[in-house]
Amino acid sequence: MNQVSFNAFLSFLTRLAAIKKSFYSYVFKFIFAAKMKRRSIYIFMALTVLAVSIISCSEYQKLLKSDDYEQKLIKAREYYEKGDYYRSTTLLDDLGNVFRGRSEAEEIHYLQGKCYFGNGEYSLAAYYFKTFSEIFPLSNKVEECDFMAAYCFFLLAPSSSLDQSYTLRGIQELQLFMDRHPKSELRDTVNILVDQLFFRMETKAFNNAKMYHDIGDYKAAIIALKNVLNDYPDTKYREQAMFYITRSAYLLAQSSVEEKKKQRYKDTVDYYLAFIDRFPESRFVREAEKIYSQSLKYIN
């Protein structure tokens, strides 16, 4: 291959890569390597890969337009096994109505859920997994699909700094799974997932409550932090929550009008005593003791 024809071919592949990036960008890299290293073996390999990809793409496009639904299902299975979930899903979406009421319908519905999950499209995957047990209640895959539906909502749950609607939904779906399958071998796994989601909600609630303390709205901080302790009695944030209640009460007392100060300093002392009784070795002890001594000075 001379230099002129080689460059023309390289230009042609560049344009192809822009149009069919998923197929040709890899080939383009091979050809570029061949130009740099001047080794004919790379050209041969690149042309082989290009030919296979073009044939594969052509076969797939023909299959999409075909009315041979049996062959579509066969290829959908093959693509699924190879991890090509996008192609598998595209074919399966054409087959749902065709095979409705037939024995293949169960497999198609199941594979759709698995493919969408494999593609990271958890909302769609959750839909197919959740509706699977409704459409095929006698299937031996019901337990798996019920769990996968709940697990999709677990994966959709955002970090604690964002809205926790999906987190709550995840907890509900996981608990629903255990209600339906109380003897499931996945019980321990489900409990771990539920604990993780509860912790996200605890974190969200605590951070929101502490925010009132940080912006100086101490009365709201006391109320919100108490709510955290009531809503999550086993929370890992109990030590911090009790300390910030004490600190908020002290700072509120400092900024209060004279007739309210004494009672609010008394409240601070009460909060301190409850805190130090529960966490005598807390990392907040030194500051808490200063708050206590200052509050006593005012009361006495």
For the chain, which residues make up each domain, given as ranges?
A: 1-65, 205-299
Q: Is the pLDDT of residue 24 over 70?
A: no
| Mean per-residue pLDDT, 61-70 | 77
Classify the phi-psi angles of 197: left when phi > 0, otherwise alpha if psi is within -120 to 50, otherwise beta: alpha
pLDDT per position as a tens digit, 228-278 = 999 999 999 999 999 999 999 999 999 999 899 999 999 999 999 999 999
User: So what's the pLDDT on residue 151?
Assistant: 97
pLDDT: which is higher, 94 or 252 = 252
| Mean per-residue pLDDT, 55-64 | 68
> Is 49 within 8 Å of 28 (Cβ atoms)?
no
The two structure tokens encoding residue 167? 């987190």
Exposed (0-12), middle (13-18) or buried (19+): which is 262, by Cβ within 10 Å? middle
User: So what's the pLDDT on residue 288?
Assistant: 97
Q: Is the pLDDT of residue 176 over 60?
A: yes
Residue 45 has, within 13 A of its CA and on its CB side, a CA count of: 12
| Cα→Cα distances 255→248, 251, 262, 270, 292, Å | 11, 6, 12, 18, 16
0.75 exceeded by pTM: no
Q: Is the pLDDT of residue 5 over 70?
A: no
Question: Average pLDDT, whole number, for the chain?
Answer: 84
Amino acid identity for residue 12 in this structure: F
Region 205-299: CATH code: 1.25.40.10
Q: Is the pLDDT of residue 4 over 80?
A: no
> Is 218 within 8 Å of 181 (Cβ atoms)?
no
| Mean per-residue pLDDT, 96-116 | 90
Task: Round to whole Å and give the CA distance between 274 and 238.
Answer: 12
| Mean per-residue pLDDT, 140-158 | 95
User: So what's the pLDDT on residue 192?
Assistant: 96
Task: Round to whole Å and give the CA distance between 103 and 112.
Answer: 15
User: So what's the pLDDT on residue 97?
Assistant: 80
Under the banding of pLDDT at 50, 70 and 90, the label for residue 41 is low
Exposed (0-12), middle (13-18) or buried (19+): which is 176, by Cβ within 10 Å? middle
Under the banding of pLDDT at 50, 70 and 90, the label for residue 18 is very low
pLDDT: which is higher, 61 or 105 = 105
In the 3-class helix/strand/coil scheme, how is the chain assigned residue by residue?
CCHHHHHHHHHHHHHHHHHCHHHHHHHHHHHHHHHHHCCHHHHHHHHHHHHHHHHHHHHHHHHHHCCCHHHHHHHHHHHHHHCCHHHHHHHHHHHCCCCCCCCHHHHHHHHHHHHHHHCCCHHHHHHHHHHHHHHCCCCCCHHHHHHHHHHHHHHHCCCCCCCCHHHHHHHHHHHHHHHHCCCCCCHHHHHHHHHHHHHHHHHHHHHHHHHHHHCCCHHHHHHHHHHHHHHCCCCCCHHHHHHHHHHHHHHHHHCCCHHHHHHHHHHHHHHHHHHHHHCCCCCCHHHHHHHHHHHHHHHC
Q: Is the pLDDT of residue 17 over 50?
A: no
Q: Is the pLDDT of residue 50 over 70?
A: no
| Mean per-residue pLDDT, 46-63 | 57
Under the banding of pLDDT at 50, 70 and 90, the label for residue 51 is very low
CB atoms within 10 A of CB 19: 8
- What percentage of the chain reaches a pLDDT higher than 70? 80
Find where tokens 């539906």 sit.
149
